Amino acid sequence: MPISWLVIYSTRYEEASYRIMAVKTANLGGAASHIVVAKVGHGLMRMTWCPTPVSDEQAFASIKGGIDALPPGVKMFLNSAEFYGQGLTTANLDLLARFFTKYPEYAERTFLSVKGGGKPGKLVSDGSRANSRRSVDAILKALRGTKRLDLFQPARPDPNYTMEQYAKTLNEMVKEGKFDYIGLSGVDAEAVRSAHKFMPVAAVEIQVSLQAYEWRIRDTIAACKELGIAVIAYSPLGRGQLAPLPKAHQSGDPRQPFARSKEHIGGNLIDYLEIIANRKGITVAQLSIAWVGALGDLVIPIPGSSHVKRTLENLKAGDVELSAEDLAEIAQFLDNYTADGW
């Protein structure tokens, strides 16, 4: 049965209001299995990790519009990081602190996941107890008490530390009340199973898309399903290649190296998806997000968006129903598809 959406909005960000009749939901995993979130979350990276960060007005409208679109009792999964700013600063968390200062009533309507654990100012993991604690404290400082840190996840595992060592530090901070739930990011199936022995992992963040679905990703999703852990699927639009292209790529944008071209994507993936999307009356981006979500009840796509219109389009993808025939058709194409450059 189709889900109907009613969206009402004005031309000004601040005056925008949204009302949606229904939206599909998902539960998180592990110790957070009682928490209900929208089937499609909201990645916040592009709001601040770009040469010209978007205005607070635009960013706030995008965040608020998504939250307002949800039924009562359903939280919006917000994904941020300690380093989502030019120069690897806490700009993204600073933005969130300003948002929750202006809209304190929205804090309880969101579930905030934040990646950290790297060396300050570098995209290099440091799994030491001292640095893990430093990272969490830096996140809490940036949030300024405006929003609870619901889930913390080391951005990438440091090969110098075992999952048992990570668990000792992370469990310690949960007991101290610094954050509520533990997540992992950029890990494989073996690491998920190892971590599960020592700590209650609620979510695992990995890249999943029609272009990123090789055997390692499939094995990781299978391990999470087996253990009841939510999969937070970042870049469900293939680092923006399956989304509408911006008018111009900005120099310094972390997505810029992946500027779309038929040659880079490989094959006729976009053309093929357009046929299915047109048949269903949706966009290629919505089809791509819906396909990721269809990989399992615990798989939660988190496309990025800094525009309220795009946020709502992404959310609507969570309600798209793909039939067994749709999925089989896409699977058959993917079996013979190679994405050049991936």
What confidence score (pLDDT) does residue 299 get? 98
pLDDT digits (tens, 9 = 90+) for 120-141: 999 999 999 999 999 999 999 9
Question: What φ, ψ does residue 27 adopt, rounded to 5°?
Answer: -100, 145
Average pLDDT over every residue of 143-159? 97
State the Cα–Cα distance between residues 186 and 289, nearest whole angstrom.
19
Query: pTM for this structure?
Result: 0.88
Q: Which amino acid is at 41?
A: G
Known active-site residue 84:
yes
**Hey, is 301 helix, strand or coil?**
strand
pLDDT digits (tens, 9 = 90+) for 240-289: 677 655 444 444 444 444 444 444 444 478 888 999 999 999 999 999 99
What confidence score (pLDDT) does residue 103 get? 98
3 pLDDT more than 60:
no
Longest Cα separation, the chain: 54
231 pLDDT more than 90:
yes
Indicate the DSSP class of residue 104: G
- Sign of the Cα torsion 268, 186, 79, 120 reads negative
Residue in the block written with tokens 């965040």:
63
What confidence score (pLDDT) does residue 334 get? 86
What confidence score (pLDDT) does residue 240 get? 67
- Split at pLDDT 50, 70, 90, the class of 199 is very high
Q: 280 vs 226, 322, 326, CA distance in Å?
A: 32, 9, 10
Q: Where does 244-339 have alpha helices with state H? A: 262-265, 269-280, 284-293, 308-317, 324-335
Report how far Cα 116 is from the mean position of its chain's Cα atoms.
15
Contact 216, 208 (CB under 8 A): no
Q: Which amino acid is at 113?
A: S
Residue from 9, 13, 18, 84 carrying the catalytic annotation: 84
66 pLDDT more than 50:
yes
Question: Whole-number mean pLDDT of the chain?
Answer: 88
State the Cα–Cα distance between residues 230 and 78, nearest whole angstrom.
14
Helix 56-68 and helix 91-102: axis angle, to 10°? 60
Residue in the block written with tokens 């047109």:
278
Q: Which amino acid is at 331?
A: A
